[in-house]
Amino acid sequence: MKITKTRRVSSLVFIALSLVANAIFPIPIRAQAPVFAITPVESTITFDVESSVAIKGKFDKWEATLTFASPELSTGVLDIKIQAATVDTGSGMKNGKLKGKDFFDVERNPIITFHSTKVEQTSSDTVAFDGDFTIRGVTKRERLLFKVNRTGTGSGTINGTMAFDRKQYGMNSGIPFIKIADRVEVSVSLNGKRVSGPPVNLK
């Protein structure tokens, strides 16, 4: 009986101390964050290069995620991973040249990535993601600017563009008989839906 009473007293003391501790040092409640799902089937990543012969294409295999730690826009992180070998210009000759060592060099650098490190709202309907863009194993800071369509439904498509100088990434060569500009424009169209959590705070 004495042992049982001692255990009961110890349990009551522990519970009392726990209640006091929680009152003084409350357990932080994690803010609910927006959760988005992006549908690649309804999304596209394309590119366009000014040249004497049209060089436009898309990537058939890629994945993208958009995550938030809270409803604040500044906590957003955008990650895009593209399988470089899936480039498709509609021309086997152009595809082969772009996959080669003078351009994407897909054998040694199979993945093209963009990882955002900062996000800010730049106007009432535009959001800019600054981040690390990596192609051919070379990483540089680039900006991806998205136009936001606010429908209030929590789903829709955001269309973004990013331009970069191909020579800064080691793509110094050309294609025989085709004059190619240095500037490459990338268009990213992401179809997504907020599957849970509150909306993102936009001004």
Residue 82 CB coordination number (10 Å): 22
Q: Report the pLDDT value the prediction gives residue 7, as an integer from 0 to 100.
A: 52
Would 22 be classed as within a structural domain?
no
In a domain, 74, yes or no: yes
163 found inside a domain: yes
Question: Quick one: which of 116, 120, 37, 24 has its CA closest to 72?
Answer: 120
Instruction: Tell me which residue of 162, 135, 177, 164 sits closest to 51, measured CA to CA.
Output: 177
Q: Tell me, yes or no, whether 102 lies in a domain.
A: yes
Instruction: Give the pLDDT band (50/70/90) at residue 9.
Output: very low
Instruction: Please indicate, yes or no, if residue 139 is contained in any of the structural domains.
Output: yes
**Domain with 136 in it:** 31-196
* Residue 9 placed within a domain: no
The predicted-structure confidence for 105-160, as pLDDT tens digits, reads as follows 999 999 999 999 999 999 988 999 999 999 999 999 999 999 987 665 567 888 99
Q: What is the pLDDT of residue 151?
A: 61
> What's the pLDDT at 15?
47
Q: Which residue has the higher pLDDT, 77 or 156?
A: 77
| 104-110, long-range: CB < 8 A, 24+ apart | 104/135, 104/136, 105/136, 105/137, 108/137, 109/84, 109/135, 109/136, 109/137, 110/83, 110/84, 110/85
pLDDT of 31 reads 55
State the CATH number of the domain containing residue 36.
2.40.128.110
Q: What is the pLDDT of residue 117?
A: 98
Number of domains in the chain: 1
Residue 166: pLDDT above 80?
Answer: yes
Looking at mean pLDDT, say which of 44-53, 74-83, 165-174, 193-202 comes out highest: 74-83
Query: Helices then strands (H, E): number in the chain?
Result: 2, 11
What pLDDT score does 77 carry? 97
pLDDT of 14 = 47
> At residue 178, does pLDDT exceed 60?
yes
Residue 15 lies in a domain: no
Q: What is the pTM of this model?
A: 0.81
According to DSSP, residue 199 is labeled P
Task: Check if the beta carbon of residue 64 is closer than 8 Å to that of residue 83.
Answer: no
Q: Does any domain span residue 14? A: no
